[in-house]
């Protein structure tokens, strides 16, 4: 099925460990995004990639890095995990054929716990 695939679905890290969250879309979308969702705070944009080869900071980029590996894949890396990064992480993508096109397509999320 076409869509956005995130791996892993669940992860527990110890403080200071590193990990990479993977995201891939098969809809030929140009733009991709990483959000975190915390209770009572909605979704907050971490980083985005408007097109292949470009990345930009969002609202809460500290402690994260991203790589737009190719048009399909956009990964999020935590270099030294902290308990404050415990959250649910969502990857999303959209076409850029028109302003906001058909809206975002979201993956099913990665639930990350840092202990």
Partner 1 sequence: AQSVTQPDIHITVSEGASLELRCNYSYGATPYLFWYVQSPGQGLQLLLKYFSGDTLVQGIKGFEAEFKRSQSSFNLRKPSVHWSDAAEYFCAVGSSSGGYQKVTFGTGTKLQVIP
What CA–CA distance (Å, rounded) separates 2 from 22? 16
Q: Which stretch binds partner 1 (CB under 8 A): 17-25, 60-68, 79-87, 99-107?
A: 99-107
Per-residue binding letters, 42-81, with partner 1 (x by CB under 8 A):
xxxx--x-x-----x-------------------------
Q: Please, what is the minimum distance in Å from the beta carbon of residue 18 to partner 1?
A: 25
* CA dihedral sign of residues 102, 8, 58, 60: positive
Residues whose CB is less than 8 angstroms from the CB of residue 20 and which lie 6 or more positions away in sequence, other chains included:
75, 76, 77, 78
CB 16 → partner 1: shortest distance, Å? 28
């Amino acid at each position: 099925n076409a869509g956005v695939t995130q791996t892993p679905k669940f992860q527990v890290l110890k403080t200071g460990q590193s990990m990479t969250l993977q995201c891939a879309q098969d809809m030929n979308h140009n733009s991709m995004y990483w959000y975190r969702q915390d209770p009572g705070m909605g979704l907050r944009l971490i980083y985005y990639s408007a097109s292949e080869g470009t990345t930009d900071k969002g609202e809460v980029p500290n402690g994260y890095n991203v790589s737009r590996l190719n048009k399909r894949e956009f990964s999020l890396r935590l270099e030294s995990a902290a308990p404050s990064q415990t959250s649910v992480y969502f990857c999303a993508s959209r076409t850029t054929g028109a302003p906001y096109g058909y809206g975002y397509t979201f993956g099913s999320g990665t639930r990350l716990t840092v202990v």
